[in-house]
């Protein structure tokens, strides 16, 4: 029986490569590759028949015959070797791995071909669409239809860039809440930053009658002199934030020196080694931790002037300032702070020259701190200093016997404390409210004639706002802090009236400046007109008499010019006044700002 050609060739000695063929190498892989190329180059060989078929993948189109997962079975091994591909002689496991790799390669080539053709079709369609649009818009100037291959690639790149930007925008800014998608922000006018900070109406009805001296707060603070600002810091009222503003956010000739890692800053007067600010972040707790009004008024002069003789002490003006907060929010914030381990044990509570005894001021807890206490236990303690803290820290405790509750009845004691706190608050140089940050900034700047670098930020989400309480607990907290509730209502009314009074005074000052500017322009116009008229008459007196037989013509002309100028300036003032006085009634236009505001208060009441 005759053997197949491939079998006979396998028993023959190796042939020498033909002329021009690559030489043999010692590398077995390259040696086998060279033999395969030689076999493929001979016409009629099995390798040539295999190579003559379509290549793998989709290089010849999508209608290529599907590849077989298994090689065709032959009647005998020799016949199969003659008719099947060369890799049929390999082992079964090796053939299986080669088929898996071949199928993966075919799938990747198919996907790449589909993606390429799809993008090409998309670019072609977009090219025609844009060509039609440009042809309608620009007419004969459009030559999009004659785009070359580079233009197609550029158009495809732009489309892909646009799709990528859309995907990134969806990841970075999902939904319709994104600020970038709010086109109204670009078209809406800038709102007044001082209006409706607490989401309430900008209009309020005053409850108390205050004099001009109570509303007008203008402190002649001389930072180069001996005046001193004293900050009374009440717990959990936002005093830490305001204290940082005082040392880091004020435009000064000599700013405070604040070092990294240190809470205290050095706030010296220009050209002196003396501080102008008495606060936590400038002098520390020199009079005790969170010293109240009673402690500060008796401690600050001695701390500032030291052991200097009283006759040699300079005549200083101590300007006291503080910040108040809604009593319920402040109470809940202090409870959360105590839960985290705060005790304020270092507070001295010095009154009338001595601290209170343990019988006068018992403690609500027995351990090192009161951490983890529930709200009910916090409210049940009758000696809790969190109850009516703002009234107690702003009043003069010497009027009620300090912390000795047996000096007078409780009702009388509460009345004296409340009246003392109201009086001290009203006569303070400045006080602000946590719920009105921008108004607080405005009043401080107008009071002390000192400007902040960056505006204050209103935080409506705090630890106290995260506490969910029912109506019953809120009523109980208000009952425990009934003195603070009345003091805060009084302070809020005084604060808002001061703000409106200062705003009206500012608008009236601006109106007065416009009137002075109008008078100045009138005088300049008349002076220029009369000078030009006098020069003309001095040069040609006869000609002027012949041309102007009526001597009253110049006066009429001058009056017409004055009337036109007055009307134009008045129209300009009428157009500007509604913008500056938005949200306020302008019924009374008297020159006295105090009478105007007081009259408005009487009308509102």
Q: Which residues are catalytic?
A: 290
**Looking at beta carbons, which pairs linking 94-98 to residues 24 or more positions away fall under 8 Å?**
95/71
Q: Which residue has the tokens 């505006």?
A: 455
* DSSP state for residue 209 in the 8-state scheme: -
- Tell me the three state secondary structure of residue 42: coil
CA 346 vs. chain centroid, Å, equals: 36
| Gap between the Cα atoms of 319 and 227, Å rounded | 8
The number of helices, as runs of H, and strands, as runs of E, in the chain is 20, 6
Residue indicated by tokens 């009952």? 479
Residue 229, helix vs strand vs coil: strand
Structure tokens at 267: 């706030």
Answer whether 282's CB lies under 8 Å from 293's CB: no
The answer for residues whose C-beta is within 8 angstroms of residue 147's C-beta and 6 or more apart is 127, 131, 155
Q: How many CA atoms lie within 13 A of 267 on its CB side?
A: 27
CA 447 to chain centre: 27
Residues 6+ apart with CB under 8 A from 269: 223, 224, 254, 275, 276
CB environment 532-553: b (16+ within 10 A), e (fewer): eeeeeeeeeeeeeeeeeeeeee
Contact 420, 395 (CB under 8 A): yes
Asked if residues 234 and 323 have their Cβ atoms less than 8 Å apart, the reply is yes
CA distances 71 to 23, 78, 84, 88, 577, Å, are: 33, 15, 7, 7, 95
Q: Which two tokens stand for residue 79?
A: 């016949």
- Residue indicated by tokens 């630890």: 463
Would you say 286 and 303 are in contact if contact means Cβ atoms under 8 Å apart? yes
For the chain, state the CA radius of gyration. Answer: 46
State the DSSP code for 89: G
**How far, in Å, are 249, 506, 518, 567, 581 from residue 509 at the CA level?**
27, 5, 14, 21, 13
- Angle subtended by helix axes 327-339 and 471-480, to nearest 10: 100
Name the token pair of 347.
């507070």
Using a 10 angstrom Cβ sphere, with 0-12 exposed, 13-18 middle and 19 or more buried, the burial of residue 108 is exposed
User: How far is it, in rounded angstroms, from Cα 109 to Cα 67?
Assistant: 14
The answer to whether residues 404 and 352 touch, using CB atoms and an 8 Å cutoff, is no
Alpha-carbon span 224 to 475, nearest angstrom: 49
Say if CB 388 and CB 478 are below 8 A apart: no
């Amino acid at each position: 029986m005759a053997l197949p050609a491939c079998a006979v060739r396998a028993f023959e000695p190796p042939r020498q490569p033909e002329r021009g063929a690559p030489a043999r190498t010692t590398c077995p892989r390259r040696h086998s590759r060279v033999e395969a190329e030689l076999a493929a180059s001979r016409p009629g060989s099995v390798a040539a028949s295999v190579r003559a078929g379509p290549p793998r993948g989709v290089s010849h189109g999508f209608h290529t015959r599907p590849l077989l997962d298994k090689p065709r079975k032959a009647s005998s091994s020799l016949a199969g070797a003659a008719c099947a591909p060369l890799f049929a002689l390999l082992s079964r496991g090796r053939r299986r791995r080669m088929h898996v790799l071949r199928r993966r390669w075919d799938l990747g080539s198919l996907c790449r071909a589909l993606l390429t053709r799809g993008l090409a079709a998309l670019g072609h369609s977009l090219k025609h669409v844009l060509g039609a649009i440009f042809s309608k818009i620009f007419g004969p100037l459009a030559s999009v239809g004659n785009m070359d291959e580079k233009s197609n690639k550029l158009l495809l790149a732009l489309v892909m860039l646009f799709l990528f930007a859309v995907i990134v925008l969806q990841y970075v800014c999902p939904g319709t809440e994104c600020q970038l998608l709010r086109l109204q922000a670009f078209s809406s006018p800038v709102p007044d930053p001082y209006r409706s900070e607490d989401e309430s109406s900008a209009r309020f009805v005053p409850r108390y009658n205050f004099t001009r001296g109570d509303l007008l707060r203008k402190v002649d603070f001389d930072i180069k002199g001996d005046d001193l600002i004293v900050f009374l810091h009440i717990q959990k009222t936002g005093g830490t934030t305001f204290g940082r503003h005082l040392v880091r956010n004020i435009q000064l000739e000599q700013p405070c020196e604040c070092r990294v890692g240190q809470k205290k800053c050095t706030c010296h007067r220009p050209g002196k080694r003396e501080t102008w600010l008495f606060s936590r972040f400038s002098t520390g707790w020199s009079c005790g931790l969170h010293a109240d009004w009673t402690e500060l008024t008796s401690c600050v002069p001695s701390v500032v002037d030291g052991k200097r003789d009283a006759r040699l002490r300079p005549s200083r003006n101590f300007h006291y300032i503080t910040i108040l907060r809604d009593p319920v929010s402040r109470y809940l914030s202090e409870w959360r702070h105590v839960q985290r381990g705060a005790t304020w044990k270092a507070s001295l509570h010095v009154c009338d020259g001595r601290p209170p005894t343990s019988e006068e001021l018992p403690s609500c807890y027995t351990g090192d701190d009161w951490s983890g206490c529930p709200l009910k236990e916090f409210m049940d303690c009758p000696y809790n200093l969190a109850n009516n803290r703002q009234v107690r820290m702003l009043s003069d405790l010497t009027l009620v016997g300090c912390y000795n509750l047996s000096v007078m009845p409780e009702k009388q004691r509460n009345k004296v404390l409340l009246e003392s706190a109201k009086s001290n608050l009203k006569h303070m140089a400045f006080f602000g409210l946590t719920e009105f940050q921008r108004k607080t900034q405005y009043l401080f700047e107008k009071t002390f004639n000192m400007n902040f670098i960056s505006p204050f930020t209103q935080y409506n989400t705090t630890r106290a706002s995260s506490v969910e309480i029912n109506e019953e607990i809120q009523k109980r907290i208000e009952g425990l802090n009934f003195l603070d509730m009345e003091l805060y209502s009084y302070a809020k009314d005084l604060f808002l009236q001061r703000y409106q009074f200062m705003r009206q005074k500012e608008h009236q000052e601006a109106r007065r400046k416009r009137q002075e500017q109008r008078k100045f322009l009138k005088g300049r116009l008349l002076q220029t007109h009369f000078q030009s008229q006098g020069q003309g008459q001095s040069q040609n007196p006869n000609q002027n008499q012949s041309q102007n037989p009526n001597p009253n013509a110049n006066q009429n002309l001058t009056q017409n010019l004055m009337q036109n100028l007055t009307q134009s300036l008045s129209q300009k003032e009428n157009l500007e006044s509604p913008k500056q006085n938005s949200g306020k009634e302008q019924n009374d236009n008297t020159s006295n700002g105090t009478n105007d505001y007081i009259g408005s208060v009487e009308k509102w009441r």
